[in-house]
Amino acid sequence: METEIIKNCKTKSEAVRSIYGYDNGTSRRKFEKLIKENEIDISHLTKQPFIYERKIKDCPVCGNKFETIVNHKREKTTCSYSCSNTYFRSGENNPNYGNLSGEKNHYRRICFEHHKKECVVCGENKIVSVHHYDENHNNNEVENLIPLCPTHHQYVHSRYKDEVMDKINEFRNKLINK
């Protein structure tokens, strides 16, 4: 019976699954023992049928040629991790490009086009977030966007608000009176 099953299979994996119901180390050892004891010819079985077509593509970032598997879950778009980071993490291919709500301009871009990229309270310029003064995230007017470091941004949304609001109000009043 097993001999007929093996003859009708194309791959070793398919034969093992057909006989034992699963393909793992134990079932493979049982299969090898069965083949050896019954002297069954398995020369027609291949390791894995070639299902996917291979294709040479040009990398959209650097222009290098690379090989990929067509219509496979691991089909490549770029030739390397470096090019992938450039391609997917910047520009129009980045899902965060532009405003997340679909508007043309993202509030961070608006803020840093008009304000210096530094916290208005302490002058931190390495990590700067943007606070919506009126807490309305749909209002992306320049006067409503206040650059703050993460610490002082957290202060604004906590019981320590009073410690930073004077400097924030002073910054905002300068904007309004321009």
Q: What is the mean pLDDT of residues 91-105?
A: 56
Q: What is the mean pLDDT of residues 48-56?
A: 73
> For residue 47, what pLDDT is reported?
64
User: Can you spell out the DSSP letters for 101-141?
Assistant: TS-SS-HHHHHHHHS-SS-TTT---SS-EEEETTS-TT---
Model confidence pTM above 0.85: no
Q: How far apart, in whole angstroms, are the C-alpha atoms of residue 33 and residue 48? A: 21
Structure tokens at 138: 């749909």
Q: How far apart, in whole angstroms, are the C-alpha atoms of residue 8 and residue 123? A: 74
Under 8 Å between Cβ of 106 and 94:
no
